[in-house]
Chains A and B, each alone.
Chain A
Amino acid sequence: GAVVSQHPSWVICKSGTSVKIECRSLDFQATTMFWYRQFPKQSLMLMATSNEGSKATYEQGVEKDKFLINHASLTLSTLTVTSAHPEDSSFYICSAPTGTSVYEQYFGPGTRLTVT
């Protein structure tokens, strides 16, 4: 089946620094990818929709200047958390739909970000 990978799987950074998380579709092309964050004991919250070759679409309440998304190729989307703060500590998950079936989303394993 389709595989989506994320790198790194976990990262610890100091407050004020920036962190980049990669999401790759390994055996298929994805013109769209989704970025979610998940707080402990809470659901996945969609942050933004990443579109290859164009600007990402952010959900209401998500700071686009803080969470920079770049979808430079059909297999790679990156999420950069800029000037990270402890409240940004969370589990970030990406997903990508395959082919024309947007509901067949494949999820990456997630990236655990801890900001100290």
Chain B
Amino acid sequence: AQSVSQHNHHVILSEAASLELGCNYSYGGTVNLFWYVQYPGQHLQLLLKYFSGDPLVKGIKGFEAEFIKSKFSFNLRKPSVQWSDTAEYFCAVKASGGYQKVTFGIGTKLQVIP
């Protein structure tokens, strides 16, 4: 079974600071990887996903993530955060192929201070 760990549970940054949220997964086979975001009072939304190809994935709102297979990692980055990025971020993994379940990390609460 797959599992996901997110190392930073609560991150506080000032606007314009750079962001990197760590995500590591464990699974013996090929995986699909995701980052979801939940803004205060809103639904979970897909931020970006990796299925195959270029390990550097670009998502919405200037976010990107890099899949490093040798490290089982899929860290989320943004060069300059804004106050509107305040949200909870979830890393998720699923075994590739078909209707496989998605396993979520515990989430990282990001607070951006103006």
B window 89-114: CB within 8 A of A: 90, 94, 98-107
Option from A4, A41, A105 in Cβ contact (under 8 Å) with B102 = A105
What residues on A are CB-neighbors of B105 within 8 Å? 43
Q: Which of B13-21, B44-52, B63-71, B72-80 contacts A (4 or more CB under 8 A)?
A: B44-52
Mostly, the A contact residues are strand
Whole-angstrom distance between the alpha carbons of A93 and B45 in the complex? 13
B82 on the A face (CB < 8 A) = no
Residue total for A at the interface (Cβ-Cβ under 8 A): 24
Query: B103, A108: Cβ atoms under 8 Å?
Result: no
Known pairs A32-B99, A42-B106, A102-B100; A108 contacts B51 (CB<8 A): no
A107 on the B face (CB < 8 A) = yes
Option from B4, B51, B104, B107 in Cβ contact (under 8 Å) with A103 = B51
Option from B34, B49, B51, B107 in Cβ contact (under 8 Å) with A43 = B107
Query: A103, B32: Cβ atoms under 8 Å?
Result: yes
What residues on A are CB-neighbors of B101 within 8 Å? 34, 46, 49, 59
B43 on the A face (CB < 8 A) = yes
Provide the B36-64 mask, 1 if CB < 8 A to any CB of A, else 0: 00000011111001010000000000000
Whole-angstrom distance between the alpha carbons of A41 and B6 in the complex? 13
A window 37-67: CB within 8 A of B: 41-46, 49, 59
What residues on A are CB-neighbors of B99 within 8 Å? 32, 49, 97, 102
Residues of A within 8 A of B (CB): 4, 32, 34, 36, 41-46, 49, 59, 93, 95, 97, 102-110
Nearest 3 pairs between A and B by C-beta?
A: A107-B44, A43-B106, A44-B104
